[in-house]
Every structure is written in C-alpha cells, then in structure tokens.
Homo-oligomer: A and B are copies of this chain.
C-alpha cells in the first residue's frame, strides 16, 4: 500500500513511436487535489560492463542525437519483446563489440529517469571475454575501444563519458579493484 499513491483519473496517449510512447495522465493527489503527469514509456534495456582478461573495460563510442554529441558508453541496448534481460545482454554485447562472455552476471537494475520515464536498465558484468565479429544494427555506427581504469576516469573527467550507467559502471569497477587489492 502506497501512502502517497497518485490515482490515475485519465490517461491519454499523445504519441506512439518506435522506441518510446508519451502519455499525459491526470492524477488524484494524496490531499485530494489533481495534477497532470507526463509519462514516457520505454521497453527497458540492458547495459553490460565488459572486463577483458587484461583488466580493461570495453566501451563503445557513438553519436547520440538527443545530446548532439558523441560519447563513450558501456554497451547497451533495448529489450526485444519478451526477451529475457540476460539474453539481451549476451546479444547486445556481441552485436556492438563482437565479444562473447563466458560469465554474464546480473549486478542490479535501475530506473534512469523516474521523474518522467519508466525506462529500466538491467546491468550485467561480463568476464571471460572472447573476441569475434561485431554485428551492429544498420542504423548504428559505433567504434569499440578498450580502456584502463585510469583512462576511463580521464574520459569521465573530460565528459567524453557522460551518462549515468557508464559513470555507475566505472564506480563499480573501481570498488571491485579496491576489494581485490585488499
């Protein structure tokens, strides 16, 4: 039971797109008042932290239209309908980087923008990597790079890495390295 529940009075589909849909919802507030909520629906996604046997992190550089710039990110992609997150993680890692992983471990999941979107990212760590051929989507142009922890932190400092999931991934990797060195 939610103490602060906002009950839906009306929900209007504004736009149904290829990746996202936008709804405008009228809600009843806990104090009886009303408000409007803009809600973006997204199919959900996975992101993978691929760590090579040389202890390097595999990143993909790509242009992001929403940001009008190129950034380096951990490999990621949308869930296909009814696709299990672990299967999606294996698929996206292979498509974007060419790597197959002997070990694919689910770490956590998080919503990216709870204020307006339901996008949920399942985060995996991939190790035991074996290199093959990348198979990007026809409208996807990516460059694969492998970086040390220091290089990743430098990219973050310079805002060439500039998104939440990749910033999280670097912290995860840092914590893992600290624990291993103890």
Contacts and interface: CB of A to CB of B under 8 A. Distances in A.
Contacts of A29: 139, 141
Contacts of A66: 37, 39-40, 111, 113-118
Nearest 10 CB-CB pairings of A with B: A4-B63, A171-B171, A37-B65, A164-B164, A64-B114, A35-B139, A4-B141, A110-B164, A17-B38, A112-B113
A113 B40 CA distance: 12
Interface string A65-101: 1110111010010100000000000000000000000
Contact of A25 (B42, B65, B113, B171): B65
Contact of A175 (B39, B139, B166, B175): B175
Interface residues of A, number: 72
Interface of A: 2-6, 14-15, 17-20, 22, 24-25, 27, 29-31, 33, 35-40, 42, 45, 61-67, 69-71, 73, 76, 78, 108-119, 121, 138-139, 141-143, 156, 159, 162-168, 171-172, 174-175, 178
Contacts of A116: 19-20, 40, 42, 66, 119
